[in-house]
Structure 1
């Protein structure tokens, strides 16, 4: 595992957005994104790992899916279409195992990677925005309504939470990813005086990453979302909060983030490919 993580760090050190993960953060990523070691592939030059694809397995839109949780190629081995070669090796194994499609996200400005995935057969399905704000800069304009209380979700009801969302979350933010993360991800509920859940937030206190924040449409614009966000800030150890891969069409939610001083730090494409 140390070799894989080191290759990951080497491959992403000069990336459009440099990625440096501690061993703990790397393990959290593997767990959250459902990595299946038997479907992770790598290219070697002698004993040196030159590149890899981390593969997560699960269900996406009702179909068995392989999720690309990271493709990395060390700088000195780029330009040889390693990504395409790795997929050529991986795809038959996925088909034999009943996987029906492949999913990934790619930074919009990373043109070489985008072209490589398109040559493999991937097609863009939607645009995604990533937001960040230092905790001390997040603005809270309203107080929590008097008839709303916040508490840890003892028995999360993901079917109810899903009714609050205007758009579907991405792979690493959906309910399956949150469940896989166990105690590393905290879920809080907003409950009204009739003991109805009207809002939810799921976040990683150590990382500062918010996987989901959603409020029942009937209870918006009265401070429920802000109250959940404020509580997450107070419980988060990291210095900033991040919302990764928010569907660009979620205009109401994006406006909510912008009004609280979150700024776009990255834009990505979600891409999908049928393999059957």
Structure 2
């Protein structure tokens, strides 16, 4: 008999084993060690108390990892991974599992449920659409290397400031509804920074990055999570370019990549392409479902 409980009814070791087995044979099999799995709950703001586990009798056979954050009075939830162990796939249990997970979110009075899925994983995308999720954007993983064209003139037009990513949480600097792991409150907080471009004390643009660098050594690489600008200001785009070339260390020979970069950011994607950023083979879709108004 199929039943459901929250993940807090499992030990971390049991949950980790279910996680590994649940992703076996998928597009991206997970070989995450136990310590990294445990740390992920803190790093990604996941909660065992709202993550659902599907049981066949006493055996855990499927799961949905979930987390909730509150922004401007709205609760936004994230599906941080859905999996069913191989021998229970093809039994139409996926829809039931996701519906139970959404039911738990509704009980928590969540306004919007979100998730990301690999673009090539059409079966998963169709499953999520079946239960009411809609694709609202495509997410890019781009990369570039070497010294890029750092425009000193643009840089000189703005006051550029670096602040810790956590100082940008729940601020007006970045939008509230974004892919979970690019929000300032999640992954970028581990060394993440917001680079802000200002003019006349007004914030015109910003980008969120994390630089890979050891103390006493040059930066090895940098990841861009998101960027935003005041489109109504005549200098908004130039301010964003100034923030990007500063945040992405255009004047250094390092590796650069983007993580879940939204396609709707059309105001600066051409700027990145013109400066050597290229597509990789990876892309995801960003999906949301409205639960409460």
1:172 is matched with which residue: 173, 181, 187? 181
The structure with more helix, counted as a fraction of residues: 1
Instruction: Return the structure number with greater relative CO, CA threshold 8 A, min gap 6.
Output: 1
1:130 aligned onto 2:149: no
Q: Distance in 2 between matches of 1:50 and 1:175?
A: 33
Any idea what the Cα deviations from partners look like across 1:70-115, whole Å, max 9, x if unmatched? 1112233211223222233333333333224422222222122122
Q: Distance in 2 between matches of 1:264 and 1:61?
A: 35
Structure 2, unpaired ranges of 5+: 1-11, 214-220, 231-235
Alignment of 1:72-221 (within 5 A): 72-124=83-135, 126-133=136-143, 137-144=145-152, 145-146=155-156, 152-153=162-163, 156-157=167-168, 159=171, 161-162=173-174, 169-177=178-186, 182=189, 184-190=190-196, 199-203=206-210, 205=212, 209-214=223-228, 217=236, 219-220=238-239
Q: Distance in 1 between matches of 2:134 and 2:158?
A: 43
Of the two, which has the highest radius of gyration? 2
Q: TM-score, normalised by structure 1?
A: 0.74
RMSD of Structure 2 on Structure 1 (CA): 3.8
1:48 Cα deviation (Å)? 4.8
Q: Distance in 1 between matches of 2:241 and 2:284?
A: 31
Q: TM-score, normalised by structure 2?
A: 0.70
Structure 1, unpaired ranges of 5+: none
**Count of matched residue positions in the alignment of Structure 1 and Structure 2:** 263
Alignment of 1:197-276 (within 5 A): 199-203=206-210, 205=212, 209-214=223-228, 217=236, 219-220=238-239, 223-230=242-249, 241-258=256-273, 259-275=275-291
Q: Counterpart of 2:124 in 1: which secondary structure? A: helix
Kept after mapping to 1: 8 A contact 2:222/2:255: yes
